[in-house]
Amino acid sequence: MSWQTDLPLIAILRGITPEDIPAHLAALLDAGFDAIEIPLNSPDPWRSIRLAVAQCADRALIGAGTVLTPQAVDELAAAGGRLVVTPNTNTAVIRRAAAAGMIVCSGCATATEAFEALEAGAQTLKIFPSSAFGPDYIRALKAVLPPAVPVFAVGGITPDNLADYLRAGCTGAGLGGDLYRAGQSAEVTAQKAQAFVKAYKDTVQ
């Protein structure tokens, strides 16, 4: 299964509570987001994922981040999630998710890790932490990767630097603290989401 969203920006809702899911998801969807990641080190993540699936699985790709074990992949599938995002290159997790027909965005930093992830079945790569490497590193890494493989920049991406990573060859980005921080209002999420969407469209259109 390949990447299947209209907007290649992943909203990372680290720290969100189930109670906050409806309002923040509505804000993100209204802004144009259609890929939502709920990290498993958030409070009660499985309930949040089930709520997100029930609210908008027909409009967005819903999944989990910080997926560290094959068992978590199984639980995500049972909850109705279809996106598996890892912080590292874990071939057991990748194989389990790929076998289940899920989209895998595998964390990696080096060419060795990137090719290990692809060989295990990952369809998408996440360069993490991107801010520590910078766009020039990603441009160099992209030169040896299969051109059709989507690469996402994650870690330290802002509306101001998003264009630098897109021009370096990234398909899109995963957006964490500069989009959502636990406890912020849905109105703030909406404003930040709109800023990211504008930055993306201004670069690619």
Instruction: State how far the Cα of 131 lies from the Cα of 196, in Å rounded to an integer.
Output: 17
Question: Which residue in 19, 37, 142, 192 is the catalytic one?
Answer: 37
95: which 2 tokens? 């194989």
Residue type, 178: D
Q: Are 173 and 10 in contact (CB under 8 A)?
A: yes
Instruction: State how far the Cα of 203 lies from the Cα of 162, in Å rounded to an integer.
Output: 9
Our answer to whether residue 37 is catalytic in this structure is yes
99: which 2 tokens? 């076998």
169: which 2 tokens? 């060859």
CA distances from 148 to 52, 123, 125, 157, 176 (A): 30, 10, 11, 22, 25
Q: What torsion, rounded to 10 degrees, do the Cα atoms 137, 3, 160, 168 define?
A: 30
Question: Which residue in 19, 75, 126, 201 is the catalytic one?
Answer: 126
DSSP 55-76: HHTTTSEEEEES--SHHHHHHH
Our answer to whether residue 126 is catalytic in this structure is yes
Distance of CA 201 to the CA centre of its chain: 18
Q: Are 73 and 97 in contact (CB under 8 A)?
A: yes
Catalytic machinery residues:
37, 126
